[in-house]
Chains A and B, each alone.
Chain A
């Protein structure tokens, strides 16, 4: 049989094409057959994850993309005042109030806008950049525009509606923000603003976001550290106690998960307030003077305490899952070689628990940096996070662009810290179970 196929002088076990490619039994190149065989498996695997993929796209990727888009999107000026934007292109704010063609275009645009009742929205949008713009646009309403005689020069008639139209500022603002995409929200989120003269920082008294970002990071780090300090011994106990006690302890660790977040946070209010349980006890045992009760809530201390409690399980569980895999024989080996308890722990046990620390720390930190409810309830004014500000802009001031910019910055910040972490600790060192 070997002779039959070996007639052309090629190794009998293998089919080869003229160019030396390996061929499969039916004569197609082996690589193609493998690709074909594997393609079907790949398609099936893809179909299996398709529902999840769709879900993730719709519920996760799309909102993030939308947020990133909103943080720079600025269609409203160009959409509401299309002709004005075109006319303003050649205008230089240094040359004074724009000429009659701009006013003509603006008049036509405003007639359309007031009829569609969208001119006040434009006013609100521009008010984010310069206060006064909102009332200016509200004043320039359909009734007042109706009195304008478009055969006469328009500039003086607009001046009559509001004398601000005879100054450079509103036009400069319009021109500055006429682009469809603007860095304005991001600059605002970084305590800067876009003016017709360029980028400048806002008044020192109005700078809040940078400070808030810093506070969010520092508090999140504090919370992560205190979670680690409190969680490490608990995780160690969990991993080393006999099964029965460990199970009870595990239930205690998980108990917070089964209680509503709101209930837990409110409980802290009861405990921490000036007339609360903790202060009462401290006064009772004489550690604290009744006149000088500790302020533990509505400040940063309150936020740190309550958040540490709430995020503690996220530290304990990864730590536990890593510690569980460290066999006790390592500690015994260390001791048999002459290391006392502390050296054995520090040189042998601790280094092996670092992946758990890494996982827990990253989890807690990332959860903390975006936390909203707890700081809102117990943080007062000094203990709130950037996320509280984002919520404010979304639901109260309705400045979604700024909220999106702040959110995007937060996202970039987290990714930056993640990158930093990867550089310093190494993400391979993180183990979640």
Chain B
């Protein structure tokens, strides 16, 4: 399902500016395959909602083309695009009951009464809200409103559904449950979903592919495991999951690996992913769970020593905060076991990792 070659939604060199001075979306190129669950993930203000609104037709692209199923939609008004949408605040019509809300898109399509009733019932059952058809949105809990909003976006069988932070207002537990349900519905119906969030764990659990946005640009577009394990640049490494950074200078590049020099003069090897030639600054990225306490450095491993600053007991594992080469927030995750008991706050310890797991990225 991932990496579909026949693009259903295409953004081609799309730019957007609200005020004519700053570009909110800069040169966006994005292909979304049919049936794909694509998430736009990024910090606040990075232009995610703007992209969604351009796709839905509520904002016009300043430059570039947006194509839906091969046809340019720049001049198609929103109500003719046939795109289902779930808004951040749900936008359920407060003066209509749940059933009337769901019937609305069918009524404007001039569907027969019996058809409408059947479809509304099916959609409500799909989100387990069958018993709530007669209620007003105000009489529902946040999670229930959210389900109704999803059902309403799907009831007229759109091929594409956009969701703008639909779970933003829910508490953690409910959010996790709804993530599962939305994912489930997506798999069942096979609709294409473009999902916006700034919660990375939400993006990782639900998506086929994630587009990481920052500063109006897609930083990386990849399936979740790739994004976590092989970040292309420092922003993605830092934004997705926990990350340790070490600043260094490139000494030489030799095939896949780069030889880098830390500030204290020690040399080390790292995977040359996104670093410049010899002499340029680089930032090394290391996941906390890929670092081990070990004084013996094996041939394919790299090692440093660090000062143990803090031990945080989390049951199954221990987080060790260390000071390593000037970085005071270097975190190591160790499984709870015999080796942890040897660690003492204030003592130095040897750290090792595989050169494969240390990625030399841009110094930004």
| Cross-chain contact B104 with A337 (CB below 8 angstroms) | yes
B102–chain A nearest beta-carbon distance, Å: 10
For the complex, is B84 an interface residue (Cβ under 8 Å from A)? yes
Q: How far is the CA of A327 from the CA of B92 in the complex (A)?
A: 11
**Contacting residue for B89 out of A329, A336, A347, CB 8 A:** A329
| Cross-chain contact B104 with A336 (CB below 8 angstroms) | no
Q: What secondary structure prevails in chain B residues at the interface with A?
A: loop
**Contacting residue for B109 out of A334, A338, A344, A351, CB 8 A:** A338
| Cross-chain contact A348 with B93 (CB below 8 angstroms) | yes
| Cross-chain contact A333 with B87 (CB below 8 angstroms) | yes
For the complex, is A330 an interface residue (Cβ under 8 Å from B)? yes
Given A327-B89, A343-B108, A347-B104: A336 touches B83 (CB 8 Å cut-off): yes
Taking CB atoms, residues of chain B closer than 8 Å to A338 are 79-80, 82, 105, 108-109, 156
For the complex, is A335 an interface residue (Cβ under 8 Å from B)? yes
For the complex, is A36 an interface residue (Cβ under 8 Å from B)? no
Which B258-309 residues have a C-beta within 8 angstroms of A? none
| Cross-chain contact A337 with B91 (CB below 8 angstroms) | no
**Contacting residue for B79 out of A327, A329, A336, A347, CB 8 A:** A336
Binary flags per residue of B52-93, CB closer than 8 Å to A gives 1, else 0: 000011100000000000000000011111111101110101
Taking CB atoms, residues of chain B closer than 8 Å to A247 are none
B139–chain A nearest beta-carbon distance, Å: 16
Binary flags per residue of A344-366, CB closer than 8 Å to B gives 1, else 0: 10011001100000000000000
Contact-residue bracket for chain A: 10 to 19
Taking CB atoms, residues of chain A closer than 8 Å to B162 are 336
**Contacting residue for B78 out of A327, A329, A335, CB 8 A:** A335
Q: How far is the CA of A61 from the CA of B95 in the complex (A)?
A: 38
Q: How far is the CA of A312 from the CA of B78 in the complex (A)?
A: 35
B274–chain A nearest beta-carbon distance, Å: 39
Taking CB atoms, residues of chain B closer than 8 Å to A348 are 93
Interface size on B, residues (CB 8 A): 27
Q: How far is the CA of A401 from the CA of B80 in the complex (A)?
A: 67
Taking CB atoms, residues of chain A closer than 8 Å to B104 are 334, 337, 339, 347
| Cross-chain contact A337 with B93 (CB below 8 angstroms) | no
A271–chain B nearest beta-carbon distance, Å: 41
Q: How far is the CA of A337 from the CA of B93 in the complex (A)?
A: 12
For the complex, is B346 an interface residue (Cβ under 8 Å from A)? no
For the complex, is A201 an interface residue (Cβ under 8 Å from B)? no
Q: How far is the CA of A352 from the CA of B91 in the complex (A)?
A: 13
Which B122-151 residues have a C-beta within 8 angstroms of A? none
Taking CB atoms, residues of chain A closer than 8 Å to B85 are 332-333, 336-337
Q: How far is the CA of A329 from the CA of B109 in the complex (A)?
A: 20
Taking CB atoms, residues of chain B closer than 8 Å to A245 are none
For the complex, is B94 an interface residue (Cβ under 8 Å from A)? yes
Binary flags per residue of B91-130, CB closer than 8 Å to A gives 1, else 0: 1011100000000110011000000000000000000000
**Contacting residue for A352 out of B82, B88, B94, B108, CB 8 A:** B94
For the complex, is B209 an interface residue (Cβ under 8 Å from A)? no
Q: How far is the CA of A341 from the CA of B105 in the complex (A)?
A: 14
Taking CB atoms, residues of chain B closer than 8 Å to A339 are 79, 104-105, 108
| Cross-chain contact A330 with B91 (CB below 8 angstroms) | yes
Taking CB atoms, residues of chain B closer than 8 Å to A332 are 56, 58, 78, 85, 87, 91
Taking CB atoms, residues of chain B closer than 8 Å to A334 are 93, 104
Taking CB atoms, residues of chain A closer than 8 Å to B94 are 352
| Cross-chain contact B152 with A337 (CB below 8 angstroms) | yes
Taking CB atoms, residues of chain A closer than 8 Å to B95 are 351-352
| Cross-chain contact A337 with B58 (CB below 8 angstroms) | no
For the complex, is A275 an interface residue (Cβ under 8 Å from B)? no
Q: How far is the CA of A339 from the CA of B80 in the complex (A)?
A: 9
Best-buried of A327, A336, A341, A352 by chain B (most CB within 10 Å): A336
| Cross-chain contact B108 with A336 (CB below 8 angstroms) | no
A403–chain B nearest beta-carbon distance, Å: 45
Q: How far is the CA of A351 from the CA of B101 in the complex (A)?
A: 14
Q: How far is the CA of A348 from the CA of B105 in the complex (A)?
A: 12
For the complex, is A340 an interface residue (Cβ under 8 Å from B)? yes
Q: How far is the CA of A28 from the CA of B348 in the complex (A)?
A: 67
| Cross-chain contact B93 with A336 (CB below 8 angstroms) | no
Q: How far is the CA of A348 from the CA of B89 in the complex (A)?
A: 16
Chain A residue at minimal CB-CB distance from B85: A336
Q: How far is the CA of A333 from the CA of B153 in the complex (A)?
A: 9
B164–chain A nearest beta-carbon distance, Å: 9
| Cross-chain contact B89 with A340 (CB below 8 angstroms) | no
| Cross-chain contact B156 with A337 (CB below 8 angstroms) | yes
Q: How far is the CA of A337 from the CA of B79 in the complex (A)?
A: 6
Q: How far is the CA of A339 from the CA of B108 in the complex (A)?
A: 6
| Cross-chain contact A333 with B108 (CB below 8 angstroms) | no
Q: How far is the CA of A340 from the CA of B105 in the complex (A)?
A: 11
Q: How far is the CA of A344 from the CA of B88 in the complex (A)?
A: 19
7 CB < 8 A contacts A-B: A330-B93, A334-B93, A337-B84, A337-B104, A338-B108, A339-B79, A341-B79
Known: A333-B91, A338-B79, A338-B156. 11 other contacts (CB 8 A): A327-B89, A327-B91, A329-B91, A336-B56, A337-B84, A338-B82, A339-B79, A340-B108, A341-B79, A348-B93, A352-B95
Q: Which 9 pairs, one residue from A and one from B, show the smallest C-beta to C-beta distance? A: A337-B105, A333-B91, A336-B85, A329-B91, A335-B78, A351-B95, A339-B108, A335-B79, A338-B108
Interface residues of A (CB under 8 A from B): 327, 329-330, 332-341, 343-344, 347-348, 351-352
Interface residues of B (CB under 8 A from A): 56-58, 77-85, 87-89, 91, 93-95, 104-105, 108-109, 152-153, 156, 162
